[in-house]
Structure 1
């Protein structure tokens, strides 16, 4: 689980989705904007289009959170990052998710 202070506030999600920059890989899309912190804040959004069952959506969310925790490093400039998985993520294993996240991650 990602600590509360390292999560993007719910009120900022629509603004970041509308005005933020975008990067994409085969299984993930990230939307990001600079924040005024020295660390990244993240939020994962898994829609019902990905999977109808909440159990499956939560499993995808936990895999992404695990990859984020291994990816996080100290930075001088923080970003608010929203991670949106694609439907292909259901067929991907953890190592694929981790490598896709590392290719599109903001440093």
Structure 2
């Protein structure tokens, strides 16, 4: 492949979008997830130590969201690591959902 063919293929894949815009959106979404998960963990720990019920439904929803993120990454990158992480988060989501129903 020539340099021009590679550039043309890249333009078609990005559909005319600015690469910096795409990357900043990806980083923004990832940073947002980190903040949401960190805050959820802190609030769950506070609830646990203050004697309140652990919010299993919230933790299950977050785990489901993370599983979806890694399933999408796996479908795009085809890396087995992404699939393993997605399956771990899926299992955690199911476990937390069961705990929410039973407790």
TM-score normalized by the length of structure 2? 0.27
Report which of the two has the higher share of helix. Answer: 2
| RCO higher in structure (CA 8 A, sep ≥6) | 1
Report which of the two has the higher share of strand. Answer: 1
TM-score normalized by the length of structure 1? 0.26
